[in-house]
Chain A
Amino acid sequence: MSRILLVEDDPALLRGLVATLRTAGYAVDTAGDGASAVTLATEQPYALVMLDVGLPDFSGFEVLKRLRERGCRTPILMLTARDTVQDRVTGLDLGADDYLLKPFEPSELEARMRALLRRSHGDPSPILTIGNLVIDRSLGTATVCGRSLELRRREWAVLERLVARPGKLVSKERLTDEVFGFDEPVAPNAIEVYVARLRRKLEPDGPTIRTLRGLGYMLDPS
């Protein structure tokens, strides 16, 4: 289980986040100010640091800067109440890996954390679950409620791309680029054909692939 450091000075928010994250199975350490955050993050091997920008002694940006200066490579997720683009740019420039604006949905926070952890660990878990759909990337299998989907190579590739970004829009152009090689001749509606076939195979109890006309496709995680 991942061990994470949560740096937040508001005690009520801290309690709520700790409860949420522990329930989700994380081991959570906390720090309420910048100095102890820097000490803890440099001494302990955390998988992820969640850093509030507004801290009593010095700002989260400063903590971030000091950590990066000391060569700390731990992924850092900034939590902030500042909503200007400038703040966002400052955070990312200083080496933050992601940036989450308060107030956020706990589920959104968890999704971002999972994404960061996956990225830094080179995605150790080959198994992804979206609702009733389970796909195993190492075996190349997909099941819905235990029923195995017999997928052709391209269908698998399309599904895998969509599952990797649940709830995110994947444009048709990008999907085409990722599924087909450069020199393969591609019919303009090839992707539509594969998506239609995938939809049939996912029915009736698997997640839905939504078409957003003019925009692309999205695997509906709900």
Chain B
Amino acid sequence: MKAGQRVLLSLTGRLLRGLIGPMAGLAVLLGLGGAWAIESLVEAVNDRLLGASARAVAETLGVEDGEITLDLPPWALGMLENSSRDNIYYNVFEGSKLITGYPNLPPPPQAKLGDQVTTFRYGRYRGQRVRIATEARRLPRIENPVIVQVAETLEARRSLSEYMLIQLVVLEVALLALAALLIPIGVRWGMAPLTRLRRGMDARKASDFTPLPLADVPRELRDLVTTFNALLARLDSAVEGMRRFTADASHQMRTPLSVLRTHIGVLKLSRIESPKALEAVSDIEAATDRLQRLLIQLLALARAEGAEPSGTLLHNIDLGAVVRAVAEEHALPAVRAGIELHYVSESSETFTVRGDEVLVTELIGNLVDNAVRYNRDAGVVTIRVSGDAEHVVVEVEDEGPGIPEEERDKVFTRFYRLNRDQSRPGSGLGLSIVHVLTQILDARITLESGSQRQGLLVRVVFARVTGT
């Protein structure tokens, strides 16, 4: 996957990009618009003063003896004074003839001037940009219109608009920073239903196939959750089908096996003379035993794998009592096989662990069964239960050939059999079942050499439940 694609795959990332990008664009537009507005505002405000000044000058124009008179009051130009020390210039023309004031600030073309109207324009005077207000008046008995011009340099205007622009920029930066701070919070808040949904799914047991409730699912996710629920339902029926299959298979295979065993019994009861027939019966019996063991192991494995994962069906059990019951159950087969079965419990205290009687029986039963099978002649199988503050340990030890260290990892694999056992009956499933069961029971299993450096010692460690 390319890096660019990965970024786009984060919803939060997408939302942040989608929100912050346009937001920054908007901020730039707002800035440009603001700058334009500030310029116009500053111009308009200052032009009012400038125009008023020009009008004040024009009001004092008079005609005396055919001559234009001007009584320039000090406040007419004084109103333009400011802290920026702008230069102020004025002049009065009659037509294009300078009557008074600063020369070299020519009036605009006559056509653009109306009576009683102030016009504004930019110009240059003494090397500086100036704003010029022009007021034209018609005076009685004067042929040409009298034109009054007042000009000021732009220092005050520039500093005002600069000040306002800085204000605007500061405001925008603050706004953007606030947005950058708040948007992720908002996005997280917006994504909260998704997080809740995911947490809810995480918290479910692996075997829980009940549909997710649609009530508190956001509308946008509803289709997704509905599809997910449909998937759950299909999975549920598949698992249920598997479970039913296991139960049915178990049921269906047990009856034919019973038929086989019963009829082998009948054959053995009838007097068979031929040694060949006798051999055949005993071979059939051995094969039936093997088949039965294999099928029962397969079913046990399927059942164990279909069992709920740890924590769901586990409850407090007295491990010592369960292991002892397993030992008692295996007493007769062990005696029949000429094996001595020893049960050693470290003390009479109760060893409470989280577990399940049936699963533990299956687990320890498989270990004891192996220990009896793969023992030396007249060997001993020792079942030990001991515990410390935190653990309860069950050990099953035999005096057989043991398992070479390099093969100890592999024996938990299904149908894996040691080379030397290939000729002996066995399914290669016992330890796989044990392995699956230890996982379900949250127990740890280790294989090592027996205490006399021979045989196999299987140790299963459970977490002890105390204070109950």
Contacts and interface: CB of A to CB of B under 8 A. Distances in A.
B260 A103 contact: yes
Interface string B236-280: 000000000001001110110111111101100100000000000
B187 to A, nearest CB: 52
A55 to B, nearest CB: 12
Contacts of A106: 261-262, 265-266
Contacts of A216: 328
A168 B344 contact: no
Q: Which 5 A-B pairs have the closest CB atoms?
A: A214-B343, A16-B262, A106-B265, A103-B257, A81-B254
A184 interface: no
Contact of B254 (A16, A83, A210): A83
B343 A12 contact: no
**Chain B interface mostly helix, strand, loop or mixed?**
helix
A85 B361 CA distance: 12
A182 interface: no
Question: How many interface residues does chain A have, given as a range?
Answer: 20 to 34
B371 interface: no
A12 B257 CA distance: 11
B174 interface: no
A215 B324 contact: yes
A20 B341 CA distance: 33
Interface stretch (B88-96, B332-340, B416-424, B455-463): B332-340
A83 to B, nearest CB: 6
A72 to B, nearest CB: 25
Interface of A: 10, 12-13, 16-17, 19-20, 23, 54, 79, 81-85, 101-107, 167-169, 210, 212-216, 218, 220, 222
B328 A102 contact: no
B331 A218 contact: yes
Interface of B: 247, 250-252, 254-255, 257-263, 265-266, 269, 292, 299, 324, 327-328, 331-332, 334-336, 340-345, 358, 383
A173 to B, nearest CB: 11
Contact of B336 (A82, A215, A222): A222
Contact of A168 (B262, B324, B332, B340): B332
A215 B325 CA distance: 9
A103 B265 contact: no
Given A82-B250, A103-B261, A214 B345 contact: yes
Contact of A20 (B250, B269, B292, B331): B269
B344 A214 contact: yes
B324 A103 contact: no
21 contacts: A10-B255, A10-B259, A13-B258, A16-B259, A16-B265, A19-B266, A20-B265, A54-B255, A79-B258, A82-B247, A82-B251, A84-B247, A103-B260, A106-B261, A167-B332, A169-B328, A212-B331, A212-B340, A214-B343, A214-B345, A215-B327
Contacts of B260: 103
The residue in B254, B262, B266, B331 that gathers the most chain A C-beta atoms within 10 A of its C-beta is: B262
